[in-house]
Structure formats: C-alpha cells, structure tokens
Amino acid sequence: MVTAKQLQSVEPRDTADIVLPPSDLYSDEPPLETDLHLRQMLLLITSLEWLWRDRQDFFASGNLTLYFSPKQIKSQDFRGPDFFVVLDTERRSRKSWVVWEEDGKYPNLIVEVLSDSTAKADRETKKQIYQDTFRTPEYFWVDPETLEFAGFVLMAGTYEAISPNESGHLWSQQLGLYLGIHGDKLRFFTAEGTLVATPEEAAEQAQQQVEQAQEKAQRLAERLRTLGVDPDTI
C-alpha cells in the first residue's frame, strides 16, 4: 500500500523534470473529529447517492484525500474535503481522488464541516485553494454545533455568496438541488422544496404509505358492510 507519507522524501529534480508519483494512492486523511462530523458527512453521501441511484456519471465521497499535485503530496499541507461531488465521471469506488488520473477533473461542489480546529482554515485557506487552484464552482460550509451555514458560487474567478430563498435554502446549480438546514443537519432539497430522503427514510415513507392504503381499504370495507354490501364480492 502506497501512502502520501511514504512519498514525502521524494524531491523533484526541477519543474521541467517532475515525474508524477504513483497514481494508486490510498486516502491519507485523519479520523473524523466528532460523531457529528461523521453523521453529517454520511447523510450527504447516502441521500445524494439514493436520489441519483440510477445515474452512473458522478462520484460523491467524503474525508477522502484529493491529490492534485506532487508538491502537495510532498509537503502534506492540505487535507481532503469533508464532502465533495465530481460530475461527468465514472461512478465507481476509489481509494482517493487523484486529479491527474481523472482527466484533470476537480470537484464541482465541496462542503466542509466546521470544527474549532478547522474553521479558520475552512473559511480562509481552503476557500482560497478551492477558488484559485481547484476552480470549484460551488463551496459550502456548515457548523454542526451552531448550524452556521454558508455557500459560495464562483463568479468571474471569485467566490460570491449565494443568496438564500424564502426557506433559507441555498441553490446549487451544479447539483440542481437546494442545500439547507433540516432539524440539526445540512440536507438536500429538490427544486420544489422536498427533502431528499436517505434510503432508510425512503423505506419508512414507503411503509407508511402501504399502511395508510391498508387502513383506507379497511375503512372502505367497513363502510360497504354497513350498507349491506360484502366487499369480498366486489
């Protein structure tokens, strides 16, 4: 297994002679800081993958190293996004996202989950990297403790704040979805404002619909019996 740490001692000879390191790199991210971080990241991944379950043209992940230059690997001065989506790519499992092995593709959307130790970097350093180096069209952050939430869209090379709609949700042109706070988590919403469910929520909703249909059928049968009609003969 090749990790970024094993490559730290590799010094490029000069800019013209740089040889790209191995592309089969494992993610080298530290563990997630809190349970809130883990739950928020998994919620975004699972709900989007469920919504797009019939699509094969995207990659969504979180806490996964995004390798974008040999210098970055050597210096270890960057950590991968908490959640990101790349569009127009093959939907398959990856050990990490290696830009030079992915047709030079960077994320179309990034979400960072703030913490006391990362908030300054997420608001400043990473925002600058996503704007100037990645040229990522949309960047959002959320604080799982305070529920502070902000989003930015790249306009003429500079991030501009996204204005909320009447529900306080922010539109993502890249995903064709809104992002907004629901309960105590950042969630996706459709263009019509409907909450994008997780697989578990969708299964629960389906079960509720079945139960409601059964109750309706039972009430109808009872009504027919009071009218002297056997519902089993209809």
Q: How far is residue 233 CA from its own chain's centroid?
A: 53
Please state the pTM of the whole predicted model: 0.79
pLDDT digits (tens, 9 = 90+) for 35-57: 889 999 999 999 999 999 999 99
Which domains occur in the chain, in start order? 5-197 (3.90.1570.20)
**What is the reported pLDDT for 6?**
40
Per-residue CA distances from 90 to 50, 86, 134 (Å): 16, 9, 19
Burial-class residue 36 by CB neighbours within 10 Å (0-12, 13-18, 19+).
middle
Tokens at residue 186, please? 């950042």
**What is the reported pLDDT for 33?**
67
Mean pLDDT in residue range 89-97: 95
Phi, psi (degrees; rounded to nearest 5) at 180: -165, 165
- Mean residue pLDDT of the chain comes to 86
